[in-house]
Structure 1
Amino acid sequence: MPSPRRSPFTTSPFLLVAVLLLAFLASPAHAIKFSLQSYRYPPAKCIWNTAHPNALVIVTANVGPGTDQRVDVEIIDSSPAKNVYLHKKNINGETRLAVTAHSEGEVGVCFRNYLSHDVPSEKASKMQRIIDLDVDIGADAVDYNAIANQESLSGLETEMRKLEGMVKEIVDELGYLKKREERFLGTNVSTNKRVQTFAWFTLASLIGLGVWQIFHLRAFFKRKYLID
């Protein structure tokens, strides 16, 4: 009598544990809380997070109260094109922003706290606002509760959908690392060939210079009748 067919998760519990561990490691927390000093001409304070192309980025910024101050937010990336995804002025309270990464690299959330010109300079050093920032990228940014309500998914199905998204991120990350390894390997091979070519050229130049010196010195000594 054939044995009943088992689920792959029951036959491979260690595989499930490994996938869950990798999913946990691949989804670090991106929450941070900091104080933003105000200036009349403020520098940008940027928080950077790694994102892959076409990855969904959800930015939730909770800006604390502060009189005579204006906080602007800008989302950019570190690509050579320096893409600016959005720019929003005078945010207050909780603000939720969503963008999609265009290129490989880091996505930066930049804040500037502008001080009103009516504030005396001696009070400017005490003017600041507290910002609570939470950045969700990729699978972390997907609202699985809304998907579960829309598709009438059970709790287990929702968790499996989350796990599927995390595993997809891990596969994409491994594919990205493989491409980087191939690119670095190509760079190493090309550099090695150039070094070898330069070494052979240097050796040939030294040999040629040595032969020229021998003939030159031989001709010089003949002119001086030092040798036959």
Structure 2
Amino acid sequence: MIKVFLVFFTIVGCIWPLEGVMFHLTPNTQKCLKEDIQANQLVMGEYEVSDLPGQVIDYIARDSKGHILSQKEHITKGKFSFTSEVYDTYEICFISKVPPRKCTQIYVNKINFNSKLTFYVDQRGVSQEVSLVTKKGVETKSYEGIGEASKLKPLEVDLKRLEDLSDSIVRDFALMRKREEEMRDTNEKTNSRVLFFSIFSMCCLLGLATWQVLYLRRYFKAKKLIE
């Protein structure tokens, strides 16, 4: 029985939805990662970027309407968190900035006066490596602290984790079913409107054709072309 539990916990641990990503960010560009998140969910993330002299990276988290939820400039390694107020598409953007290099050149003109010319040269820079790990909802809970506070055994803590995970999956499926019903209702309403518009268009065409035939008939009779 214990072996069955251990195998089950191992499988669940392997499929535990911890989201991590690593990519290279080209200088003076930005890369955004988007995800649909339910309402009232805590989102936590941990990032780390390679440090290169003369290059900086900023990050910003916002919703689909552009509301800023979290941001920081000149990042190297750290964490962030925010809570989603409504079901929406949220994005986390990493922005690379390579400031232009200031150059000064001194030259002598014909009147023997020293002149100084200052100009800026764009630097090409080097791609930086960015790693990001995010957690949301039940993933953000610290079950070690819960176990210590409630004096639970490790097996009981694992069962609590599985219970919360199953509840989260059930809620996700319920939300997916609700959205599917809403989309189906919208699709049915759209089909009904298209059908009504098609019938209305056909009636208009038939009415116009009938009117045109009657008009031409009267016209030809008036010209005595037909009896």
Is the TM value for this pair above 0.5?
Answer: yes
- Say yes or no: does 1:34 pair with 2:20: no
In the TM superposition, what is the alpha-carbon distance from 1:54 to its structure 2 partner? 1.2
Residue of structure 2 equivalent to 1:88: 72
Contact 1:66 1:128 in 2 (8 A): no
Query: For residue 137 of structure 1, what is the amino acid of its counterpart?
Result: K
In the TM superposition, what is the alpha-carbon distance from 1:23 to its structure 2 partner? 9.2
CA deviations 1:125-178 (Å, max 9, x no partner) are 343432221111222222222222222221111111211221122122112112
Query: For residue 72 of structure 2, what is the amino acid of its counterpart?
Result: K
Residue of structure 2 equivalent to 1:166: 165
1:16-165 alignment to 2 at 5 Å?
Answer: 27-38=16-27, 42-78=28-64, 81-92=65-76, 94-118=77-101, 124-165=123-164
* Separation in structure 2 between the aligned mates of residue 196 and residue 220 of structure 1, nearest angstrom: 36
Query: Structure 1 residues 150, 66: CA separation in 2 closer, same or farther (over 3 Å shift)?
Result: farther
CA deviations 1:159-204 (Å, max 9, x no partner) are 1121122112212211211221121122122112212211221222
CA deviations 1:88-111 (Å, max 9, x no partner) are 11222x301111112223322211
Larger radius of gyration: 2
Residue of structure 1 equivalent to 2:114: none
In the TM superposition, what is the alpha-carbon distance from 1:24 to its structure 2 partner? 6.6
Query: Structure 1 residues 63, 151: CA separation in 2 closer, same or farther (over 3 Å shift)?
Result: farther
Residue of structure 1 equivalent to 2:112: none
In the TM superposition, what is the alpha-carbon distance from 1:82 to its structure 2 partner? 2.4
- Say yes or no: does 1:194 pair with 2:177: no
Q: 5+ unaligned residues in a row in structure 2: which ranges?
A: 104-119
Contact 2:62 2:92 in 1 (8 A): yes
More strand per residue = 2
Q: Secondary structure at the match of 1:226?
A: coil
Contact 2:220 2:226 in 1 (8 A): yes
Q: 5+ unaligned residues in a row in structure 1: which ranges?
A: 1-8
- Matched residue count: 208
* Separation in structure 2 between the aligned mates of residue 43 and residue 118 of structure 1, nearest angstrom: 18
**What's the % identity of the aligned pairs?**
26
Q: Secondary structure at the match of 1:124?
A: coil
